[in-house]
Amino acid sequence: MTNEEIQNIFFLECEEALAGAEEGLMACQSGEADSETVNGIFRAVHSIKGGVGAFSFTVLQAFTHKFETVLSYVRDGELGLSDSLTTLMLRAFDVLADHVAAARGEGEVPDDAAISQQLEEIAERAAAGQPAFDEDSAPAAPPVDEAPAETVEETVAADEAPVEQAEELAELASPVDDMGLDFDLDDLMGDLAVSEEEAAAFEAAAAEVERAADAKVVAKEQARQEAAAEADENRGEAYGRNLHIRFRDGALANGSEPLLMLRELEEMGGLCIAVDAGDVPTLDKLDVEKAYLAWTFYIPPHADKKEVEEIFDFIGDECELKFESLSAPVQREGIVVKLAEVLPQQQPEKSDAPQEAAVKAADAKDAAPAKTNAAKPEAPEAAGAKAPVAPATPAQARQVSSVGQTVRVDLAKLDKLIDTVGELVIAQAMMAQRLASHGLTAIDEMGMLDLLTRDIQESTMSIRAQPIGSVFSRVPRIVRELETDTGKRVALTMSGEGTELDKTVVERLGEPLTHLIRNAVDHGIETPEVRVANGKPAEGNLHLSAEQRSGRIVISLSDDGAGINREKVLQKALDKGIVAQGAQLSNEEIDNLIFAPGFSTAETVSNISGRGVGMDVVRQNVKDLGGRISIESHPGKGCTFTLALPLTLAIADGMIVTVGDQTIVVPLTHVLESMRPEEADVKYIGKDLMVLNSRGKFLPIVRLDHAVGASGAANTPAEAVLIVVDTESHGQAVLMVDSIVDQRQFVIKSLEAHYQPVIGVAGATILGDGKVALILDVDTLVADNFANHGAALAAA
Amino acid sequence: MSENIHVLTVDDSASMRALLRAALTSRGYNVSQAEDGVAALEWLADNNGGIDVIVTDINMPRMDGFGLIEALREQSRFRDCPILVLSTESSDEKKARARSAGATGWIVKPFDAEKLDSALRRVTH
């Protein structure tokens, strides 16, 4: 996995964390927060901080750290969660989100100076046991609409030196820490004086260990030691230090391994010059879980004291360390002699002995799961006493596997799978058809296969499904920013965040939805003054919901604002020449005019929703997703936009029709109705062109047989079936086909990938009988038809 | 020597898991991963405890690092399994808590791969 890929995972994670944090903060704002909420926010920010450090986004790291500090005070109950603080944290959150976007290369690095300062000051106040804001000390929460920035300016002196923060940041900058290492060791260091009895025990232990030791390892180790000593000698001038080390009994607990620490010390150039075995008891009193030895190591001048301390860092109080600066050069000979005495007992660690012992003790080991420490001859007493009987960590069959509830899969692989499953479904249908033609319709095996195929299809589809919540989660921030920008007040409610739909749809839904929300706040909801004047509450309501309804996802956005001003819309449309003068339009049609290209109703083009692109783009976006958008507006009461989207893009609903010798699929998203016309409903214009009188409206009829070059099709509408379709550029039109055969889901195959783009054709699919059928691109087909017969039809 | 060492890393952050996997596999460790304490315990139960060393984060949903360490130390087969904490936290208080829970070592995030390697070597046998 490349670094970049890991980084991408990190950004995905940031998104999740940000969404989680925002949700939590929103809950705080609405007063629904409990301790777990705050904890969740803290964890989210914390996890971002953890990652940014690893990827060296230093600016981001500094900011997350400040944010996290404040959050930790809130979490620990040292800061009350007042409205002002929540508002500040929401702003900090927005800055954090911008920081993450910037780190991702998607935007400018935000200016966080002001908010950082505020966070620092609050952390400082919290550290001093003060509330975040002065007024927070009063039991009553301050009013919501108080400007938070001012509050902070007033209550916090800006020139207070943020000492604590500085310290924390310093700590952040250098993650090395130095806990628990300064203590008094005066009475801890003995010399090598050993009682005879103890010496015997020591000898016994050493002998045991030595037998087990692999001579090669020892030799290598010694060579390394000598090389290290030589290296020291070359340095010459400074004298280095002696380090006295004594492990306490707890040092062997928790799987710590003192020997390996000593070995690491050696790797840094340290030389063991003395061992104090004075505390080693007689064998019968020896407790393998206790530490008895103390060491003195010579630490050469080039070894960094900090690094040395780091080795023993975590063992903390269980290990006593004392550095002693040397005032005279070390006599190399002296060291080597002592080393020779001490080394052999230290070496067997990587020998075969423990393994042999393990084999010998294999039978016993299941019955008595021995302490693994005992098998590690980290100190002579332990090794001597227990090595022969105690097994090493049982060699387990090791299997590399990853634990997790989620698996991240490359999208291309997933699409390939879905594609293949689509083929499987088709193959299954073909086989069913073939079997049926041999009179084998009701065989059990076929039923089973059918069931399984459908199961697989549904499961694979659900893999691509994503909760729409990932789009919804961005909405609160958008609304918040809009509130600030417009001075309007909006209460946002959402429902159905768990509704799942295709990942691609989810991803591409963000833009149109954002636009709709901007539109609703900018144009729909009135300013508080106007609302109050109209007898509405000052705060506007915006409700966003998603639900699954008959195989489609329906997303609706309702506001209780002014609704669409039809008079104004119509006037504008007339001015812009979008509708002809004198045209009679229904209310619904007028409402739909806002989707016309280049339409903008705001009198002053604001920088919020008036960006040149209008609702037509929204409509196009939705259409590209195979969906449809509709409006329901009640002047003075509000407006609801409803988006109906397919569950997936890979499979679409289609109407299978026949035209002469061809079978064609018409995507259902375009189909409004189908009918067998009365002869009187069809009018002829010239020889070839026909229009359908549909409830007083004349709709152009497109002869599909002409469009696709089919032969033998019905010649007059009376013999045919007419399908009314809705198109992007030309409103409604009518397709004339011979008959409607079926309506079913189909897998879309790109024609471009296998052939070339063809006007009027969106792709192809394979039918149950194995035949390929073209899928109509109704928009371009009708547009193309208009281009050919445009003048005549326009006249109609 | 790290060829045979099997490490279980426990971290709720997928990127951290990926970083750890990259850093450790490139140094010859066998790596298994879990995303929180609960998942780690499940993995260990499923795999019969076949692990040499555990590296765990502290702040995790469901079961945090402290909880995991305590739970492991209660099981006899993990009483002596080295457990390293890998956390952005570095307060003495947290460290003391980790130590009393039974952690073997503490590494501060962002981690240095070399240091992690030497810490792992230090605690594995």
Chain A residues inside the 8 Å CB shell of B13: 10, 13, 47, 50-51
CB–CB contact B32 A402 (8 Å): yes
Q: Provide the pLDDT for residue A135.
A: 55
Structure-derived torsion over alpha carbons of residues A451, A454, A458, A459, reported in degrees to the nearest 10? 60
CB–CB contact B125 A349 (8 Å): yes
Of the residues B15, B17, B43, B93, the best mutation for testing chain A's interface (the one with the most A CB atoms within 10 Å of its CB) is B15
Residue with the bigger pLDDT between A788 and A369: it is: A788
Q: Provide the pLDDT for residue A88.
A: 82
CB–CB contact A1 B18 (8 Å): yes
What average pLDDT score do residues A415-433 get?
A: 80
Considering A112-116, A683-687, A743-747, B65-69, the range whose residues carry the highest mean pLDDT is: B65-69
Residues A536-571: tens digit of each pLDDT? 898 899 999 998 876 678 899 999 988 888 888 888
**Minimal Cβ distance to A43: which of B33, B50, B61:** B61
Residues A605 and A727 in one domain: no
CB–CB contact B47 A46 (8 Å): no
Residues A714-771: tens digit of each pLDDT? 888 888 899 998 876 677 889 999 999 887 777 777 777 778 878 888 888 887 777 8
Number of domains chain B is built from:
1
Q: Provide the pLDDT for residue A557.
A: 93
State how far the Cα of A25 lies from the Cα of B59, in Å rounded to an integer.
19
Residues A639 and A748 in one domain: no
**Does residue A395 lie in a domain region?**
no
CB–CB contact B13 A51 (8 Å): yes
B118 — pLDDT class (breaks 50, 70, 90): confident
**Does residue A393 lie in a domain region?**
no
pLDDT at A186 exceeding the cut of 80:
no
**Does residue A7 lie in a domain region?**
yes
Residues A154 and A303 in one domain: no
What average pLDDT score do residues A415-444 get?
A: 79
Chain B residues inside the 8 Å CB shell of A56: 110
Residues A715 and A585 in one domain: no
Q: What is the CATH number of the domain that holds A361?
A: 3.30.70.260
Cβ-proximal residues to A275 (8 Å cutoff; 6+ apart), any chain: A192, A293, A294, A295, A296, A342
* Residue of A212, A307, A319, A327 lying closest to A265 (CA atoms): A307
Residues A290 and A415 in one domain: no
pLDDT at A317 exceeding the cut of 70:
no
**Minimal Cβ distance to A396: which of B33, B50, B122:** B50
Residues A38 and A138 in one domain: yes
Chain B residues inside the 8 Å CB shell of A15: none
The average confidence (pLDDT) of chain A is 72
Kind plus residue range of the DSSP H or E element containing A766: strand A761-766
Chain A residues inside the 8 Å CB shell of B59: 42-43, 46-47
Q: What is the CATH number of the domain that holds A113?
A: 1.20.120.160
**Does residue A347 lie in a domain region?**
yes
Q: Provide the pLDDT for residue B75.
A: 85
Q: Provide the pLDDT for residue A177.
A: 38
Residue A317 to chain B, least CA–CA distance (Å): 10
**A291 at B interface, C-beta within 8 A:** no
**Does residue A179 lie in a domain region?**
no
pLDDT at A358 exceeding the cut of 60:
no
What average pLDDT score do residues B21-36 get?
A: 87
Q: Kindly identify which residue of chain B lies nearest to residue A42, measuring between CA atoms.
A: B59
**Which region, left, alpha or beta, applies to residue B7 given φ > 0 means left and ψ of -120 to 50 means alpha?**
beta
Interior angle at CA A543, CA A537 and CA A548, nearest 5: 155
Residue B18 to chain A, least CA–CA distance (Å): 6
Residues A670 and A637 in one domain: no
Of the residues A314, A319, A399, A408, the best mutation for testing chain B's interface (the one with the most B CB atoms within 10 Å of its CB) is A314
pLDDT at A675 exceeding the cut of 50:
yes
What average pLDDT score do residues A185-195 get?
A: 38
DSSP A520: I
pLDDT at A342 exceeding the cut of 90:
no
Q: Kindly identify which residue of chain B lies nearest to residue A64, measuring between CA atoms.
A: B88
State how far the Cα of A727 lies from the Cα of A785, in Å rounded to an integer.
12
What average pLDDT score do residues A310-315 get?
A: 71
Lowest-confidence pick of A218-232, A241-255, A649-663, A714-728? A218-232
Q: Provide the pLDDT for residue A789.
A: 65
Residue A475 to chain B, least CA–CA distance (Å): 25
**Tokens 């020896």 sit on residue:** A286
pLDDT at A356 exceeding the cut of 50:
no
Q: Provide the pLDDT for residue A374.
A: 41
pLDDT at A159 exceeding the cut of 50:
no
Q: Kindly identify which residue of chain A lies nearest to residue B116, measuring between CA atoms.
A: A311
What average pLDDT score do residues A195-202 get?
A: 53
A269 — pLDDT class (breaks 50, 70, 90): confident
Lowest-confidence pick of A29-33, A638-642, A738-742? A29-33
Return the structure tokens found at A533.
């004047």
Q: What is the CATH number of the domain that holds A753?
A: 2.40.50.180
**A174 at B interface, C-beta within 8 A:** no
**Does residue A635 lie in a domain region?**
yes
**Minimal Cβ distance to A50: which of B13, B39, B90:** B13
Chain A residues inside the 8 Å CB shell of B110: 50, 53-54, 56, 175
Q: Provide the pLDDT for residue A555.
A: 92
Chain B residues inside the 8 Å CB shell of A402: 32-33
Q: What is the domain extent for residue A618?
A: 468-646
**A367 at B interface, C-beta within 8 A:** no
**Minimal Cβ distance to A402: which of B15, B33, B61:** B33
pLDDT at A93 exceeding the cut of 80:
yes
pTM of the complete model beyond 0.90: no
In 3-state terms, what secondary structure has residue A354? Answer: helix
Put simply, the chain B residues between 22 and 51 with a CB less than 8 A from any chain A CB are: 22, 30-35, 39-40, 42-43, 47-51
Q: What is the CATH number of the domain that holds A509?
A: 3.30.565.10
State how far the Cα of A732 lies from the Cα of A699, in Å rounded to an integer.
6
State how far the Cα of A151 lies from the Cα of A83, in Å rounded to an integer.
11
Across B3-125, the runs of DSSP E, i.e. the strands, are: 6-10, 30-34, 53-56, 83-87, 105-108
Q: What is the domain extent for residue B14?
A: 2-123
Residues B49-96: tens digit of each pLDDT? 678 889 998 888 888 888 898 888 888 888 878 888 888 877 778 888
Put simply, the chain B residues between 62 and 121 with a CB less than 8 A from any chain A CB are: 73, 76-77, 79-83, 87-88, 90, 92, 95-96, 99, 102-106, 108-111, 118, 121
Residues A372 and A274 in one domain: yes
Q: Provide the pLDDT for residue A330.
A: 59
How many CB atoms within 10 Å of residue A566?
Answer: 16
Residues A443 and A420 in one domain: yes
Instruction: Count how many residues are written for chain B.
Output: 125
pLDDT at A504 exceeding the cut of 60:
yes
Residues A468-503: tens digit of each pLDDT? 888 888 888 888 888 888 888 899 999 988 888 888
Residue A517's Cβ-count burial label (10 Å; 0-12, 13-18, 19+) is: buried
What percent of chain A shows pLDDT beyond 90? 5
pLDDT at A383 exceeding the cut of 80:
no
**Minimal Cβ distance to B33: which of A53, A315, A403:** A403
**Minimal Cβ distance to A255: which of B6, B81, B106:** B81
Q: What is the CATH number of the domain that holds B62?
A: 3.40.50.2300
Lowest-confidence pick of A151-155, A266-270, A304-308, B43-47? A151-155
Number of domains chain A is built from:
5
Q: Provide the pLDDT for residue A192.
A: 38
CB–CB contact B95 A256 (8 Å): no
Residues A507 and A620 in one domain: yes
CB–CB contact B105 A373 (8 Å): no
Residue B102 to chain A, least CA–CA distance (Å): 5
Q: Provide the pLDDT for residue A193.
A: 41
ipTM: 0.72
What average pLDDT score do residues A127-136 get?
A: 67
Lowest-confidence pick of A192-196, A681-685, A761-765? A192-196
Kindly tell me the number of DSSP H helices and DSSP E strands found in chain B.
5, 5
Could you tell me the CA-to-CA distances from A318 to A247, A254, A257, A418 in Å, in that order?
6, 11, 12, 58
Lowest-confidence pick of A4-8, A602-606, B4-8, B105-109? A602-606
State how far the Cα of A388 lies from the Cα of A375, in Å rounded to an integer.
8
* Residue of A184, A183, A180, A185 lying closest to A314 (CA atoms): A180
Residue with the bigger pLDDT between A115 and A186: it is: A115
Chain B residues inside the 8 Å CB shell of A43: 59-61
Residues A560-604: tens digit of each pLDDT? 988 888 888 888 888 877 777 777 778 888 888 888 776 765 444
Residues A492 and A372 in one domain: no
Residues A642 and A677 in one domain: no
Residue A304 to chain B, least CA–CA distance (Å): 15
**Does residue A74 lie in a domain region?**
yes
Annotate A83-112 with DSSP letters as a single string. HHHHHHHHHHHHHHHHHHHHHTTSSPPP--
**Does residue A708 lie in a domain region?**
yes
A145 — pLDDT class (breaks 50, 70, 90): very low
CB–CB contact B110 A316 (8 Å): no
CB–CB contact A376 B35 (8 Å): no
**Tokens 């000898």 sit on residue:** A203
Return the structure tokens found at A738.
């011979």
End position of a domain, from candidates A628, A646, A664: A646
Q: Provide the pLDDT for residue A719.
A: 86
A461, HSE (Cβ side, Cα atoms, 13 Å):
20
Q: Provide the pLDDT for residue A405.
A: 61
Lowest-confidence pick of A134-143, A628-637, A784-793, B5-14? A134-143
Q: Kindly identify which residue of chain B lies nearest to residue A53, measuring between CA atoms.
A: B110
What average pLDDT score do residues A657-665 get?
A: 90
Cβ-proximal residues to A603 (8 Å cutoff; 6+ apart), any chain: none
B14 — pLDDT class (breaks 50, 70, 90): confident
Alpha helices in A320-410 (DSSP H): 332-346, 353-360, 362-367, 372-375, 380-386
